[in-house]
Amino acid sequence: MLNRLNKTGVCLMEKIRITIDGKEVFGERGQTIMEVARDNGIDIPHLCYHPKLSKTGACRLCLVRIDGRMLKTSCTEFAMDGMSVVTEDDGLKGIRRWLLGLLLLEGEHNCLYCDADGDCELQKYVKMYNVEKSDEDFPRNPREVDYVTSNAIKRNENRCILCGRCIRACKEVQVSNVWGFTERGSQTHLIADDDRRIGESSCVKCGACVQLCPTGALTFQPVLGTGLNWELEKESSICIYCGVGCKIDFYKNKEGLLVKTRGNDDGPNKGHLCIKGRFGFDFVQSPKRLTNPLMKKDGQFVEVGWDEALDFVADRMKGIKDKSGPDAIAALSSAKCTNEENYLVQKLMRGVIGTNNVDHCARL
């Protein structure tokens, strides 16, 4: 982004015009073909590419034909003025089917057991291109499955397509640099830190790698409920913890239990979360939650109705106000409550009770 602006912030970018699948579209010099296509609503199949991450051109699925001749990976190839790009023809379709077939052969992709079923980019393309696993005997190395060392992240490398998005997520989004590849060729596999398992590593459980994993190789440990991905209901809200104000998509299952969260790209967090935003929500559905008004009678809390509790509070407050004046009453409002709720507490104290004794934990 930086080199696109001069010192005074004026955009130096030149507009360029390219043709994608016969349609004329505009982009900026310095953008890749993939980026121009995305900006113009054209979807080129891809697995290792993600708009938040640096580009590697590893999966080859985004190959396009340029000017009727060259095949290039559109995620790494810069768009040039006047370029003509074909995103799919019979040849490209054949290559994509062949690539997807190889991925199916190399891994152990069984959607029946997979948490990513219904939320998997590999599955999406396999369906789209109608690919089936070949029955030829292909020597493969069983890879590591680690469902136990971390209470946050499950890893099944038999579902890994070595796209490296998790590594880049950890390096470029969370910047903890935990994940890495080791060894070469068909032996290539994922390691955490200096060849540790994830639960024994310096992982801070932000979950960025899982959110950006295109398959079920990395998945979240269940926290509360579970459910089929296509049955989950999604609603966004704002994280309750620190002041960054991350926007989060919460997913709940048919029973109404929270299942998982994803960082929402529209929030100040741009889709990223920390361990608290990612996993710190099950308290809401904790069995320890208060469910009934309580009053202390003879030193013990007993359940009472709302009317009894509220009348008691109002009567006592009025009594104190009448006897000792409004300044004998104080309120603590809450940095965990909404603007509307804070507004009402100070209005109650000032407008109804008549004191400015209202504060909250801003200084704590």
The interface with another protein within residues 295-354 (CB under 8 A) comprises 295-296, 301, 306, 309-314, 316-318, 320, 324, 326-354
- Which tokens is 198 given? 């994830």
Count interface residues toward another protein (CB under 8 A).
112
Q: Is 288 in the site for another protein (CB under 8 A)?
A: yes
Nearest of 88, 69, 85 to residue 77 by alpha carbon = 85
- Distances in Å between the Cα of 119 and the Cα atoms of 67, 89, 212, 261, 281 are 35, 27, 11, 13, 22
Contact 180/237 with Cβ under 8 angstroms? Answer: no
Q: Which of residues 136-155 bind another protein (CB under 8 A)?
A: 151-152
Of 124, 172, 196, 197, the one binding another protein by CB under 8 A: 172
In angstroms, give the least distance from the CB of 320 to another protein: 4
The C-alpha atoms of residue 24 and residue 85 are separated, in whole angstroms, by: 10
Q: Which helix (H) or strand (E) holds 342?
A: helix 339-347
Is 125 a binder of another protein (CB under 8 A)? no
Q: Which listed range, 28-36, 93-101, 169-177, 188-196, lies at the site for another protein (CB under 8 A)?
A: 169-177
Q: How far is the CB of 30 from another protein (least distance, A)?
A: 16
Q: Whole-number minimum distance, CB 327 to another protein, in Å?
A: 8
Per-residue CA distances from 348 to 329, 333, 353, 356, 362 (Å): 11, 11, 6, 10, 20
Q: Within 10 A of 60 (CB to CB), how many other CB atoms are there?
A: 17
Write out the two tokens for 238.
Answer: 């704002």
Q: How far is the CB of 244 from another protein (least distance, A)?
A: 5
Q: Measured from the CB atom, is 109 or 260 closer to another protein?
A: 260
Least separation in angstroms between residue 162's CB and another protein is 22
Judged by CB under 8 A, the residue of 230, 286, 298, 300 near another protein is 286
**What Cα–Cα distance (Å) separates residue 14 from each residue in 9, 11, 311?**
15, 9, 70
Find the binding residues for another protein in span 8-27 (CB under 8 A): 9
Contact region for another protein (CB under 8 A) — 38-46, 101-109, 131-139, 246-254? 246-254
Contact pick of 40, 84, 221, 253 for another protein (by CB under 8 A):
221
